[in-house]
Structures are given as structure tokens and as C-alpha cells.
Amino acid sequence: MLAVIDFHGLFQLIWVSIVASISATVLFSSAVFGLARADEARRGGRGTAAAAYGTLAAVSLVVFAAAVVLGVVVMLNKD
């Protein structure tokens, strides 16, 4: 029965899912952080800081969206 289980594929699935979960969480969290800090800096009159935090939020959201699209493409691509 053990000969049927592909342990290499199973371990690959485990480590890739852990890395993907942590990466997605960090990216989305940094986007929320950037948006919140940008709003706070804008209200405080610190335009440069607001722009920097806004850029952080925008880049994080773009990379997050690209990761989601890549994940969907990989799941739908059956070899």
C-alpha cells in the first residue's frame, strides 16, 4: 500500500502550501498596514510619508493579486 503514495509529491504539496499561505498573509497584511498608515499620515499633514505608505499598499496589492492569479493558473493547468 505504501508503494502507491507519492511521498515526494506529498512533501512538495506541504511545503508549497505553507510558503504560499505565509506569503499571501504577509502581502495582504502589508497592504492593509500601508493603507491605514497612509490615511493616518495624510490626516496628519505628512504628504511624503502618506505617499510612501500608499506605494507600499499598492505594490503589496499588485503582488498579492499576481500571486492569486498565478495560483489559479497553476491549479487549472493540468499536465
Q: Which residues of 10-19 are buried (b: 16+ CB within 10 A; e: fewer)?
A: eeeeeeeeee
| pLDDT, tens digit (0-9, with 9 covering 90-100), for 26-45 | 999 999 999 999 999 999 99
| Threshold 0.85, pTM exceeds | no
Task: Considering only residues 22 and 79, tell me which one the structure prediction assigns the higher pLDDT.
Answer: 22
Polymer length of the chain: 79
Predicted confidence at residue 30, as pLDDT, reads 96
